[in-house]
Amino acid sequence: MIDPTHPLYGRRFPIHSLSHPCHGSGHVFVAYRDDIRLRIPLAATNLATGPPPARRAKFTLEAIAQFLLLVKECAPPCSTDPPPSGNSCRQP
């Protein structure tokens, strides 16, 4: 798996079969566990004929810390238990 956005990124699996449809990029079936086969897009593997997928930015520790500081500056949310308005009902 060479697509860093795929949940199985960096893992290797034995190939069971390949599919090359006329339209689309195709997929590969890989042996996962015992009799379990996974269908994976060819674009997520090193078998793809096109360029590798672009890397997505990941959050750094500094970016997360700055985000948390920003959240702390925001006003607190409305109370989930607001006080009643008006007079309460009188008991007869």
pLDDT > 70 fraction of the chain, expressed in percent and rounded: 77
Closest by Cα among 76, 7, 63, 79 to 40:
7
8 assigned to some structural domain: yes
63 assigned to some structural domain: no
81 assigned to some structural domain: no
Q: Give the pLDDT score at 88.
A: 66
Cβ-based neighbour number of residue 70 at 10 Å:
9
Show the tokens assigned to 71.
């959240």
Q: How many domains does the chain have?
A: 1
User: Residue 1 sits in which domain range?
Assistant: 1-55
Beta pairing class for 36-41 and 15-19: unpaired
Mean pLDDT score across all residues of the chain: 80
Q: Give the pLDDT score at 29.
A: 92
* Sequence-distant (≥ 6) Cβ neighbours of residue 72 within 8 angstroms: none
9 assigned to some structural domain: yes
How many residues comprise the chain? 92
71 assigned to some structural domain: no
What is d(CA 56, CA 44) in angstroms, rounded to the nearest whole number?
Answer: 14
State pLDDT tens for residues 45-77: 888 776 665 666 677 888 888 988 888 888 777
**Confidence band of 39 (pLDDT split at 50, 70, 90):** very high
22 assigned to some structural domain: yes
